[in-house]
Amino acid sequence: MKVVVCVKQTPSTTAVFRVQNGSVRWDDPGGKPNVVNPWDEYAIEEAIRLQEKHGGDAIALTMGSEESKEALKTALAMGCTEAVLVADEAFEGSDTLGTAHVLAAAIRHQQDVQVAVFGKQAIDGDTGQTTIQVAVKLGWTPLTFVSEIKELDPDAGTITVERLLEGGKETVSSRLPVVISVVKEINEPRYPSFMGIRKANRAEIPTLTAADLDLDAGSAGKAASKVDWANVYELPPRDTSVEIIEGDTVEEKVKKLAERLLAEKVI
Ligand SMILES: Cc1cc2nc3c(=O)[nH]c(=O)nc-3n(C[C@H](O)[C@H](O)[C@H](O)COP(=O)(O)OP(=O)(O)OC[C@H]3O[C@@H](n4cnc5c(N)ncnc54)[C@H](O)[C@@H]3O)c2cc1C
């Protein structure tokens, strides 16, 4: 069976963002490099588990810069059998629909994929739109917020999953191929093994361009973007002040604090 897992490289969770000349920039105070989108670690784990159970390939796929290969190496080190980078200047400035257009073409390019796995959202763009848009572009069934794959029969071409809802869970069956997004309840992502890291460092990761995917210039990237980041700005700093509540005992300080909070209508 062929499974593709879409992985996005994102800033680390401790990165500090700022706006510079209308663009969002970030640094990590501890110097941490960019990481695999944390939600995608669950998607990678699930793709590997499917490959281990049913055989075939678990292919990690990223649309991004050359630097995004680091995210693909993490996926390989965890156990993905292949990794593919999709990169082209023509894709720069893509909105989620443009990203989905390219990812759908790259998934189609792998041929005979039965399951495409995504994280529930990316921690930077944070829209959660890409998964559904890829499903629409491919014409496959989207199964979102999956917390368990209960049954998958590649020969019969069927899948049954449990989906997490706000107030409970539901079980849904579909015919393959499907696009699924997973939530953290689905599994416990493994750590890359030492052997896996060595294998990943030696791996040749192919790059697919717009021409390889037969994509017209202008079908993705800034020119095709329907969303324009016309005005990106930082919120002005909040006007705050600090007051130290004095007192001889803890009890006295707590009493004064409670009175202050009541007077300010905080409680
Ligand atoms: C340089 C730059 C310029 C941009 N310009 C614009 C712009 O002009 N207009 C605009 O609207 N947006 C722009 N964006 C945002 C960009 O379109 C989104 O970051 C991207 O489409 C993914 O959306 P998201 O982060 O909300 O992911 P979500 O939809 O939250 O991600 C859901 C899941 O989709 C998968 N996924 C998402 N992105 C990728 C990817 N690249 N490769 C593989 N899998 C992926 C992951 O599994 C992820 O968990 C820009 C981003 C960059 C880096």
CATH number at residue 102: 3.40.50.620
Place of tokens 């992985």: 7
CB count in 10 Å sphere of residue 101? 23
Q: Is the per-residue pLDDT at 217 higher than 90?
A: no
Is 21's pLDDT higher than 90? no
Averaged pLDDT, 206-218: 94
Q: Tell how far the Cα of 181 is from the centroid of ligand 1, in angstroms.
A: 15
Instruction: Please tell me the pTM assigned to this model.
Output: 0.88
Closest CA to 160 of 176, 181, 139: 176
Identify whether 249 is part of a domain.
Answer: no
pLDDT value of residue 67: 95
When the pLDDT of each residue in the chain is averaged and rounded to a whole number, the result is: 95
Q: Which pLDDT band holds residue 87 (cuts at 50, 70, 90)?
A: very high
> Which atom in ligand 1 lies closest to the alpha carbon of residue 10?
25
Q: What is the pLDDT of residue 145?
A: 98
231, part of any domain: no
What is the Cα–Cα distance from 130 to 144, expressed in whole angstroms?
Answer: 11
- For residue 52, pLDDT beyond 90: yes
Continuous H helices in the chain = 38-54, 69-78, 96-110, 130-138, 194-202, 250-263
Greater confidence (97 vs 218) lies with 97
Examine residue 27 and state whether it is found in any structural domain, yes or no.
yes
In 3D space, the residue among 248, 267, 249, 247 whose CA is nearest the CA of residue 258 turns out to be 267
Predicted local distance difference test score (pLDDT) of residue 209: 96
Q: Is residue 262 part of a domain?
A: no
**Is 255 domain-assigned?**
no
Q: Which pLDDT value is given to residue 116?
A: 98
* Environment class of 13 (CB within 10 Å of its CB; exposed 0-12, middle 13-18, buried 19+): exposed
Q: Taking CB atoms and a 6 Å cutoff, what residues make up the pocket around ligand 1?
A: 6-8, 37, 39-40, 43, 61-64, 92-96, 99, 103, 118-119, 121-122, 124-131, 222, 225, 227, 229
DSSP assignments along 202-257, one per residue: H----EE-TTTTTPPTTSSSGGG-S-------PPPPP-----PPP-SSHHHHHHHH
Residue 116 lies in a domain: yes
* pLDDT of 196 higher than 90: yes
Domains: count for the chain: 1
Question: Are the CB atoms for 34 and 70 separated by under 8 Å?
Answer: yes
Determine the atom of ligand 1 nearest the C-alpha atom of 5.
47
Quick one: 235 exposed, middle or buried, by C-beta within 10 A (0-12, 13-18, 19+)? exposed
Domain encompassing residue 164 = 2-224
The pLDDT tens digits for 228-247 are 888 888 888 888 889 899 99
Residue 245 resides in a domain: no
pLDDT of residue 234: 87
Using CA atoms, how far apart are residues 16 and 18, in angstroms rounded to an integer?
Answer: 7
Distance in Å, CA 99 to ligand 1 centroid: 6
